[in-house]
Amino acid sequence: MEAGPPGSSRPTELGPCLSGQRGADQAASASLQSAARAQLGRHPLAVAAVLPAGGCGERMGVPTPKQFCPILERPLISYTLQALERVFWIKDIVVVVTGENMEVMKSIIQKYQHKRISLVEAGVTRHRSIFNGLKALAEDQLNCKLSKPEIVIIHDAVRPFVEEDILLKVVTAAKEHGCSDYDLEFGTECLQLALKYCCTKAKLVEGSPDLWKVTYKRDLYAAESIVKERISQEVCVITDTKEDNKHVSHLLEEVLKSELNHVKVTSEALCHAGRDLQQIILDQCYNFVCVNVMTSDLQETQKLLSILEESHLSILYPVVVVSVHFLDFKLVPPSQKMENLMQIREFAKEVKKRNIWLCGLLISYPQDEQKLQESLRQGAIIIASLIKERNSGLVGQLLIA
Amino acid sequence: MEAGPPGSSRPTELGPCLSGQRGADQAASASLQSAARAQLGRHPLAVAAVLPAGGCGERMGVPTPKQFCPILERPLISYTLQALERVFWIKDIVVVVTGENMEVMKSIIQKYQHKRISLVEAGVTRHRSIFNGLKALAEDQLNCKLSKPEIVIIHDAVRPFVEEDILLKVVTAAKEHGCSDYDLEFGTECLQLALKYCCTKAKLVEGSPDLWKVTYKRDLYAAESIVKERISQEVCVITDTKEDNKHVSHLLEEVLKSELNHVKVTSEALCHAGRDLQQIILDQCYNFVCVNVMTSDLQETQKLLSILEESHLSILYPVVVVSVHFLDFKLVPPSQKMENLMQIREFAKEVKKRNIWLCGLLISYPQDEQKLQESLRQGAIIIASLIKERNSGLVGQLLIA
């Protein structure tokens, strides 16, 4: 990551971040950062970001340039844009892409509704590309949309997990250390160049292990697993207000809590005009379990699906919905109830288009308390696996616990 | 990775491998290696390996030491042992573990049937541990089981994807460059030590990107994805010899080939006394699709399961078996056939104990050719997803395409 004022079009190299902080260090640093952030608020600096994204990803061993490789069906660069967009004090984000990828990039910005983005064409080297991005900011050539920034963060398009605190460190360091000349034409490693030409003004900012660069195919795998883990941190159990149903829902919640270690399990009723559910959606919960007791009716699930569709929650991440049906398999063999539940396949096909991944789950509801605990545990294992693995091939399936 | 004769108990540092080789380079290197390997065959060197595995994995952010973290339910170190065992010219493998992990390590060796392994207790530092391993080889103190080696490869327990060609390079380099003193007590980075104390005799051997070290949690994710990819390279479609069934199986094979890009799809009949199937098992195919046409009978699947259980194929990796049933949903609604297929849950529970992961899959078999193609494609997507994602939570489920 590099930063520098664009007037000179020559950023100071701030280096890839090397290692994380822990314990007391982290606390001290967090308090420093919050002070710095407050200061940034009082004397607002005009900050912009330039993302060079013209690479061809040859080390990856895949034909798609790595910034466009899909992570849970969404291109990697969209995650990086999302990370920068979240930071309110970054006013403009300039993405530098090759001419041939310009249209792909436009469609990504439109599909995932990215804001504050401008596109600039890449140069023949990475440094020329950065230069083009800086020039666009300095010259305000993009139809006056861009405001001239005092500091520009230059961030790899293939480091998707950048956090605000690191960006703040970079900006603070850039403010203190200024910037300097560097070799646009022949440069390879920015830090080396910065040290060679301007060693007094370059500063290495320490980063976190999460800031690593997606380079090899294994990094794509790792990135996908990290994203899956992040969006599996909360599950909302939806239930109606009947006492019986609340009891079973509560039992399922308890088992889910122990099965999904460290995962927040909340519960909500649909009938409260969905007010609290709206808050849960706003808080970005991407996993919903709709509990139905002794019925294979899908009305409640359909209501939930409508609310989710309207919310646009699923623009960035696939939302998993599990329609759970507690049935007494002794009274009614599951196969007899399945006819009705088969409708779930059609619903699933429909909502999949909007990135909502629906599955059905029958859980045995025996009278015996011990057997009930066992079937709840089986159900929780399946729900945990649907949420954590987020396997699109299983959309529309009806599973049995 | 480091190597050196154990007599002196002081290995030469050969450094972590830095980057891969490509194209012509790779071809030239492969031919050199095959020559070197031939030479190693003619003048057999006594080679042993020492695996320091005493670390506590604090950077990983998980309570289990990283060498014991599970990858597809098997500890990481077992993958590393497997990689070294495959190399026939490594005669002995000494694993150095802390006293408290000695029993865990013994049970891993027993469960995964590792051969040529001896255990030695770790010292207070990594270098002391390596020293203990070398001493054991030099002094032959382990009840004369070990043969005194001329060259010892020292390999991190948390680099599971080491290949024979790299090991060969290390041994060849060690033979040419000899070895030298190094600081056992205070050393941290082996290469730095080697360069400091013996710069003329240290040699950095270039490795491949696959030789990276599992350090962070994201590396565990990546390792699991790499393992999943490796064992998904071949699918065997099992069918009986009736003409009708062969036709449908063939169609499914074709669709699987296009859905599972780059995956080898073979087909086999069970009735040939399983001779060719035995060869496929010996060649380490970990994925089987048992095709049944117009029947919900599970006999063929049971036969296949028995063969697989006897083969011990599933000791190292979970074997996925999909029992596919083609049924005309118009003639017989799937729910009516399900009663019989529900047995699959019991079979699945049974064979899961032996690491065989069984699922059922109903594929619609309509008369209409175009509709058949569509349901085959749906079926192939589900099979591909079961094989690639290898999701243990779905064992025993009956899916519908």
Residue contacts between A and B (CB atoms, under 8 Å): 86
Q: What tens digit of pLDDT does each residue of B59-96 get?
A: 556 678 899 999 999 999 999 999 999 999 999 999 99
Rounded average pLDDT over B341-366? 94
Strands (E) located in B240-312:
264-269, 287-293
- For residue A345, the domain's CATH number is 3.40.50.360
Question: What are B's interface residues with A at a Cβ cutoff of 8 A?
Answer: 59, 209, 212, 216, 218-219, 221-226, 333-336, 338-339, 342, 345, 381-382, 384-386, 389, 391-394, 397-400
What does the pLDDT read at residue B53? 92
In chain B, % of residues over pLDDT 70: 76
Q: What share of chain B is helix, strand, coil (3-state, %, to 5)?
A: 45, 20, 35
* Among the partner residues A223, A335, A385, nearest to B339 by beta-carbon distance: A335
| Same domain (yes/no): A131, A107 | yes
Q: What is the DSSP letter of B59?
A: G
The alpha carbon of residue B243 is apart from the nearest alpha carbon of chain A, in Å, by: 30
Of A221, A334, A398, the CB nearest to B222: A221
User: What is the rounded (10 degree) CA torsion for A169, A172, A173, A176?
Assistant: -170
Which of residues A193, A227, A261 is at a domain's end? A227
Q: Are residues B135 and B243 in the same domain?
A: no
Residues B30 and B93 in one domain: yes
A246 and A373 part of one domain:
yes
State chain B's mean pLDDT as an integer.
Answer: 81
What's at B385, amino acid-wise?
S
Are residues A370 and A322 both part of a single domain? yes
Give the distance, in angstroms, between the CA of residue A176 and the centroid of all CA atoms in the same chain: 32
Which residues, 6 or more positions from A115, have their beta carbon under 8 angstroms from its beta carbon? A85
Distance from CA of B374 to the nearest CA of A (A): 14
Nearest chain A residue (CA) to B19 = A59
User: How crowded is the C-beta side of A91, counted as CA atoms within 13 Å?
Assistant: 14
Does A53 share its domain with A124? yes
- Higher-confidence residue of A331 and A165: namely A165
pLDDT at B180 over 50: no
**B12/B10 Cα distance (integer angstroms):** 7
Distance from B5 to chain A by nearest Cα, in Å?
34
What is the DSSP secondary structure assignment for residue A394, as one 8-state letter?
G
Cβ contact B25:B67 at 8 Å: no
Distance CA B173, CA B39 (A): 14
Domain boundary among B198, B227, B256: B227
Token pair listed for A120: 């600039």
Please name which of B253, B255, B224 lies closest in space to residue B392, comparing C-alpha atoms: B224
What pLDDT is stored for residue B143 in this prediction? 59
Facing residue for B391 by CB, picked from A216, A389, A398: A389
Contact A205, A220 (CB under 8 A): no
Q: In 3D, which of A380, A106, A148, A390 has the Cα closest to residue A255?
A: A380
What is the side-by-side strand order in the sheet with A117-121?
Answer: A12-13, A2-4, A151-154, A47-52, A90-97, A117-121
**Same-domain status, B26 and B60:** yes
Rounded CA separation A316/A74 (Å): 8
- Chain A interface, best mutation among B26, B218, B341, by max A CB count within 10 A: B218
Query: Are B338 and A335 an interchain contact pair (Cβ–Cβ within 8 Å)?
Result: yes
Look at residue A94 and give its three-state secondary structure: strand
Please list, residue by residue across A303-341, b when 16 or more beta carbons sit within 10 angstroms of its beta carbon and e when fewer do: bbbebbbeeebbebbbbbbbbbbbbebeeeebbebbeeb
State the average pLDDT over residues A299-317. 94
**CB contact (8 A) between residue A334 and residue B338:** yes
> Which run of H or E residues covers position A90?
strand A90-97
Pair B264, B137 in one domain: no
Give A280's contacts (C-beta < 8 A, 6+ positions apart): A236, A266, A268
In whole angstroms, give the CA distance from residue A106 to residue A118: 10
Q: What is the DSSP letter of A365?
A: -
CATH number at residue B46: 3.90.550.10
pLDDT for the residue B235: 94
Confidence of residue B335 (pLDDT cuts 50, 70, 90): low
Q: Is the Cβ pair A389, B389 closer than 8 Å?
A: yes
Residue B76 CA to residue B85 CA, distance in Å, equals 15
What pLDDT digit, counting tens, does each position of A37-65 carry? 665 555 567 899 999 998 765 655 667 89
What is the Cα gyration radius of chain A? 25
Please check whether residues A237 and A220 belong to one and the same domain: no
H or E element: which one contains A269? Answer: strand A264-269
H or E stretch covering A50:
strand A47-52
Indicate the range of A9-13, A63-67, A363-367, B200-204 predicted with least confidence.
Answer: A9-13
**Closest to B386 in 3D by CA, of B238, B280, B221, B259:** B259
Residue B142: CB partners within 8 Å, gap ≥ 6? B118, B120, B136
Chain A positions with Cβ closer than 8 Å to B: 59, 209, 212, 216, 218-219, 221-226, 333-336, 338-339, 342, 345, 381-382, 384-386, 389, 391-394, 397-400
Say which of A222, A389, A399 has its CB closest to residue B397: A399
* pLDDT score recorded for residue A325: 93
**Average pLDDT rounded to a whole number, residues B131-141:** 81
Least confident of B24-33, B43-52, B127-136: B24-33
Residue B10 reports pLDDT greater than 80: no
Flag whether pLDDT at A30 surpasses 70.
Answer: no
Q: Looking at the structure, do residues B175 and B202 belong to the same domain, yes or no?
A: yes
Instruction: Say how far residue B308 (Cα) sits from the centre of its chain.
Output: 18
Is the predicted pLDDT of residue B364 greater than 60, yes or no? yes
pLDDT of residue A140: 61
List the single residue in B333, B339, B345 with the smallest CB-CB distance to A339: B333
pLDDT of residue B378: 93
DSSP letter string over A276-317? HHHHHHHTT--EEEEEEES----HHHHHHHHHHHHHTGGGTS
Contact A36, A207 (CB under 8 A): no
Q: How far apart are CA A68 and CA B44, in angstroms?
A: 49
* One domain for residues A211 and A240: no
CA distance readout (Å), B190 to A63, B3, B67, B91: 37, 11, 20, 24
The C-alpha of B219 sits at a distance from chain A's nearest C-alpha, in angstroms, of 7
Q: Give the alpha-carbon dihedral of A298, A299, A305, A306, to 10 degrees.
A: 150
Q: What DSSP string describes B133-158?
A: HHHHHHHTTTTT-SPPPSEEEE--TT
State how many domains chain A has.
Answer: 2
**Residue A45 has which token pair?**
């600096």
Residue A208: is it exposed, middle or buried by C-beta count within 10 angstroms (0-12/13-18/19+)?
Answer: middle
pLDDT recorded at residue B13: 33
Could you tell me where the beta strands, DSSP code E, fall in A112-263? 117-121, 151-154, 234-239
Q: Say yes or no for a CB contact (<8 Å) between A397 and B393.
A: no
Which of A192, A227, A262 corresponds to the end of one domain?
Answer: A227
Query: What are the residues facing A319 on neighbouring strands?
Result: A356
Three-state SS for A249?
A: helix
d(C-alpha A79, C-alpha A71), whole Å: 9
Domain that holds residue B195: 2-227
A69 and A78 in contact (C-beta within 8 Å)?
A: no
Residue A35 confidence (pLDDT):
60
Q: Which residues pair with B57 in a beta bridge?
A: none
| Distance from chain centroid for Cα A288 | 18
Q: Which residue of B has its CA nearest to A380?
A: B393
Distance to chain A for B321, nearest Cα, Å: 16
Closest chain B residue to A361 measured between Cα atoms?
Answer: B397
The b/e string for A91-128 (b: 16+ C-beta within 10 A; e otherwise) is: bbbbbbbbeebeebbeebbeebebebbbbbebbebbbb
Which of A218, A382, A384 lies at the smallest CB-CB distance from B226? Answer: A218
Q: Check: CB of residue B307 under 8 Å from CB of residue B342.
A: no
Return d(Cα A292, Cα A239) in angstroms, integer.
7
Q: Please report, in angstroms and rounded to a whole number, the separation of the first and last CA atoms in chain B.
A: 49
- Of residues A72, A83, A87, the one with CA closest to residue A158: A83
Joined tokens for residue A303? 């209501």
Q: Please, which contacts does A332-340 make with residues 24 or more away whose CB atoms are closer than 8 Å?
A: A333/B339, A334/A362, A334/A400, A334/B338, A334/B342, A335/B335, A335/B336, A335/B338, A335/B339, A335/B342, A336/B335, A337/A296, A337/A362, A338/A296, A338/A398, A338/B334, A338/B335, A338/B338, A339/B333, A339/B335, A340/A296, A340/A297, A340/A298
SS3 for B302?
Answer: helix
Angle, vertex CA B372, rays to CA B369 and CA B377, nearest 5: 130
pLDDT tier at B329, thresholds 50, 70, 90: confident
Cβ of A393 within 8 Å of Cβ of B384? The answer is yes
pLDDT of residue B149: 84
Tokens matching residue B99:
């006293």
Strand partners, B236: B266, B288
Q: How many C-beta atoms surround the C-beta of residue A217 within 10 A?
A: 21
- Please tell me the distance in Å from A391's CA to the nearest CA on chain B: 7
Say which residue the tokens 């270039």 belong to: B206
CA distance B10 to B261: 48
Helices marked H in B75-180: 76-85, 102-111, 126-139, 164-177
For residue B27, the SS3 value is: helix
- From residue B324, how far is each of B105, B254, B255, B401 by CA, in Å? 39, 15, 14, 10
The C-alpha of B22 sits at a distance from chain A's nearest C-alpha, in angstroms, of: 10
Question: Is B200 or B179 the better-scoring residue by pLDDT?
Answer: B179
Give how far B149 is from chain A: nearest CA, Å.
Answer: 35
Residues B68 and B181 in one domain: yes
| Contact state of A218 with B216 under an 8 Å Cβ cutoff | no
